[in-house]
Structure 1
Amino acid sequence: MKVLVVFSLAFVYVSASVHQDQPEIYHHNELQDISNVEIINGHDASPGQFPYQVRLFIKKSKEYFGCSGSLINHNWVLTAAHCTYGSDFVVALLGGIENSDFRAKFLIKPKYIIIHEDYDDNDVLNEISLIRIPYIKYSRYIKPVNLPKIQRYYKTYVGFKAIATGWGRTSNASNSSPEILQYGTVKIINNKKCSDTFDNINICTFASNISICNGDSGGPLVILPSKVQVGIASFVSKGCSNPNGFTRVTSFLKWIKRHTGLPL
């Protein structure tokens, strides 16, 4: 049984299109009013260790919840579609690992969010979304993640070790998020081993004692040692157990290029 990494909520779809003007951005100074929703058995990240990691707070109707994303260039953040689906706005925080040390904070309106046009909220298909942010300068603490290059054929990545990162719950019973960004090393496994658990498989990971959980949605799965992002945290087994399901980034590289103009 698969479960969305954040609790699935039913909301009206908000159409998102990219405009040539700059997004209407508001610096958000009231994060203490946003309720947080870690990687289970993860480790504390160090400042600058994952400079591509973006923390997201999403408002849907009267509720707030947390997700993650990855910076892919000066203007774009990559995340899961169910994080932004039906959102009223998204708060994006960059350049930090703790709640108090983010170097950039932006509030993004829905018109600057692109959800895959064929996203299926019920079957978790085409689970990918883009958020346009103002131009952000790179530094030790803010750098884009590497994406795969568009090719005719792609590796399955089976057997590869990878790192998952996020601020989600540290256990299924927890009701709060960690103070510091968490990370854990997992192994990418053959999709056939996941077929009994997940109906729609993109990329699957397993680790004996490490798992993503609620609040880790949208976070990057980065293979080692190349540090290329191949997955986007999408869903987990019931109880935040293994295996974990991720959107396969290589399946959407042309879509990403079409909307962002990145030279992939």
Structure 2
Amino acid sequence: MEKSVRFVFILFVCAFPTDIVSRRHGHRSKSHGNKIVGGYDTTIQDFPYQAYLLLQKGSDYYQCGGSIISDSYILTAAHCLSGVSKVFARVGSTDADSGGTQYKSTHFKAHPKYNPGTLDYDVGLIHFSNKINLDGENAKAIQLAESGSSVPPDTTLTVSGWGATSENGDVSPTLMAVQVPTVSTEECNNSYGDITVRMICAGVPEGGKDSCQGDSGGPAVGDGPIQLGIVSFGVGCARPGYPGVYSNVSALRNWIRKNSGIYHQQMVAVGGIPDTIWIVVSMEKLFCIIFILWSCAFLGDVESSVPDNSTKRFHDDHYIVGGYNVTIQEFPYQAYLLLKKGRQYYQCGGSIISNRYILTAAHCLTRVSKVIARVGSSEADSGGTQYTSREFKIHPRYDRSTFDYDVGYVRFENIFIDEVNTAIVTLAESGTRVRPGTYLTVTGWGATEEDGDTSENLMAVQVPVVSNARCRQSYDTITSRMICAGDEEGGRDSCGGDSGGPGVTDDRVQRAIVSNGIGCARPGIPGVYTNVASVREWIRRNTGV
């Protein structure tokens, strides 16, 4: 669980020409993410096939759209799935962040001919072992265009999603829709020059109506409703003379059929068979069994970049380095934080200090718009109770370059404390010292190795405190608001995704907050923690704790 000292989020736009972005979270054209431009508010009852996707890629989370095509499959764009390790799908809700039902999958596939440079063959499938509950009102499968069918110019497409309402804007918390007419491939090539038969273009010449960042992978439907397109890319959002580009479902229909078994909406997927084989049974074609080999290689995990060697990289995908598995009952004060920053989500740790407050690191809260806290669970992604807050505060003297005064808190209406799965941690009193050689027990869901993935289960590690004088041999910015801890030989440490989490001593008193460091568990380089005793009065004045 690396400590992040500075979070530099990977902007997927960088991989493509400046203005071209896929409509993944944060992009569009050949990049990803926002709400519908020039559209209108709608409800999931109007678009029950719409799915909201939150995708984990290394230490970042981003959003895309998708469409339910059966009780086992969601259709989306290939570019949404590149390098992804896990997908969370919310269906049956108008709201992006709440309601409906959430499903998790690690089984997905992009078209083998997908070209990330041109976004040709931009289609992918997500398979869910736990069947999606299709109630016919809030969740329903969409009919797909048949292979070989055409989409003439001036066909009206209705596009829905939670993307941006303006270019480079924020994503929408509620479902939006827009109607745009298709344009001919010839006209579209005047703007792009590389439009293929696997693409459809749609938009108004004067601009002002379009899909945008965060809409990627979402459905574009015609009358029926029948899904004709998948949100793919475009230049900016709703610019005059630049229609949006969509994957042509008809041209990709055979691949979808072969890999999902969706011939008609009566198809039923059975299994959720792990590892390499999915079995799909067609109700029309008696027990015709299609074995699909899962051969699509995933791109390597992507982590947030570090601006220089004086900071630890932030990861959302590993456990404690050199540590061990634990349960929430052993550390009931531990909180898992998912933080929204612009169009991305990332994780941190925190500690429950009252039924209203969670303590964390200031760097976790910088420029954050929303915090989702899970408490009472050993697992990062499920169980316990989830709370949402938009009220948080960082120390006014926090220095982003040195990580001095790296402390903050999040306020909630009421956290239920049961003293078994949730409990309040005791904080070190002002002026108390932590002597060198004292062991800190650090917990969290961060990485188990430098540049590794975050852990799904709670982990712990014990590290000895070293003197600040010794720590200054590794860092030149150590102050009295910091504690350093780690083995001289390395091998044990907190890591990426652990930031903001607690460091406690044997008396179960929290004396430290995971802050920063160079790498994870490197020999001779201890981790750096905020000294709770030195910031205790600020915590007391602002929280009453």
For this structure pair, what is the TM-score category when the shorter chain's length is used for normalisation? Answer: 0.7 to 0.9
Aligned position for 1:93: 374
Q: CA deviation at 1:7?
A: 4.5
Quote the sequence identity (%): 29
Q: CA deviation at 1:4?
A: 5.4
Label 1:238 to 1:46 Cα distance change in 2 as closer, same or farther (>3 A). Answer: closer
The 8 Å contact of residues 6 and 216 in structure 1, kept in 2 or not, is answered as no
Q: CA deviation at 1:221?
A: 0.5
The 8 Å contact of residues 164 and 222 in structure 1, kept in 2 or not, is answered as yes
Q: CA deviation at 1:136?
A: 1.9
2:510 to 229, 248, 259: 229
Instruction: Find out whether 1:167 has 2:449 as its counterpart.
Output: no
Q: Report the residue type matching 1:63 in the other structure.
A: Q
Q: Report the residue type matching 1:128 in the other structure.
A: V
Whole-angstrom CA distance in 2 between matches of 1:46 and 1:239: 23
Higher relative contact order (CA 8 A, sep 6+): 1
Q: CA deviation at 1:159?
A: 1.6
2:358 to 61, 74, 77: 77
1:178 to 429, 436, 455: 455
Whole-angstrom CA distance in 1 between matches of 2:102 and 2:521: 30
Q: Report the residue type matching 2:439 in the other structure.
A: K
The 8 Å contact of residues 119 and 127 in structure 1, kept in 2 or not, is answered as yes
Aligned position for 2:300: none
Q: CA deviation at 1:149?
A: 2.6
1:237 partner SS: coil
Q: CA deviation at 1:62?
A: 1.8
Aligned position for 2:502: 220
Instruction: Find out whether 1:211 has 2:493 as its counterpart.
Output: yes
Q: CA deviation at 1:157?
A: 2.5
Whole-angstrom CA distance in 1 between matches of 2:534 and 2:372: 27
Whole-angstrom CA distance in 2 between matches of 1:36 and 1:132: 23
TM-score between the two structures when normalised by the length of structure 1: 0.83
The 8 Å contact of residues 163 and 184 in structure 1, kept in 2 or not, is answered as yes
Q: Report the residue type matching 1:213 in the other structure.
A: C
The 8 Å contact of residues 6 and 214 in structure 1, kept in 2 or not, is answered as no
Q: Report the residue type matching 2:8 in the other structure.
A: L
Root-mean-square deviation (CA), in Å? 2.3
Structure 1 residues 88-129: Cα deviation after superposition (integer angstroms, max 9, x where no partner): 2111110011135432101211xx101111111122111000
Label 1:4 to 1:198 Cα distance change in 2 as closer, same or farther (>3 A). Answer: farther
Whole-angstrom CA distance in 2 between matches of 1:240 and 1:206: 7
Whole-angstrom CA distance in 1 between matches of 2:403 and 2:381: 33
Q: CA deviation at 1:238?
A: 3.0
1:73 partner SS: coil
1:147 to 427, 436, 441: 427
* Consecutive unaligned residues in structure 2, runs of 5 or more: 10-96, 106-314
Q: Report the residue type matching 2:415 in the other structure.
A: I
Whole-angstrom CA distance in 1 between matches of 2:458 and 2:3: 20
Label 1:255 to 1:196 Cα distance change in 2 as closer, same or farther (>3 A). Answer: same
Aligned position for 1:19: none
The 8 Å contact of residues 380 and 445 in structure 2, kept in 1 or not, is answered as no
1:123 to 402, 410, 433: 402
Whole-angstrom CA distance in 1 between matches of 2:103 and 2:466: 38
The 8 Å contact of residues 6 and 215 in structure 1, kept in 2 or not, is answered as no
1:162 partner SS: strand
Q: CA deviation at 1:142?
A: 0.2
Label 1:47 to 1:127 Cα distance change in 2 as closer, same or farther (>3 A). Answer: closer
The 8 Å contact of residues 163 and 186 in structure 1, kept in 2 or not, is answered as yes
Q: CA deviation at 1:199?
A: 2.3
Whole-angstrom CA distance in 2 between matches of 1:8 and 1:36: 11
The 8 Å contact of residues 40 and 212 in structure 1, kept in 2 or not, is answered as yes
Aligned position for 2:436: 158
What are the residue-to-residue correspondences of 1:43-62 with 2, within 5 Å?
43-62=324-343
Aligned position for 2:60: none
Q: How many residues align?
A: 238
The 8 Å contact of residues 75 and 136 in structure 1, kept in 2 or not, is answered as yes
2:540 partner SS: helix
1:256 partner SS: helix
Aligned position for 1:138: 417
Q: Which moved more, 1:65-74 or 1:200-209?
A: 200-209
Whole-angstrom CA distance in 2 between matches of 1:36 and 1:4: 10
Whole-angstrom CA distance in 1 between matches of 2:103 and 2:443: 21
* Consecutive unaligned residues in structure 1, runs of 5 or more: 11-25
Whole-angstrom CA distance in 2 between matches of 1:31 and 1:249: 38
Structure 1 residues 50-102: Cα deviation after superposition (integer angstroms, max 9, x where no partner): 00000001111122111100000111000000001100211111001113543
1:5 partner SS: coil
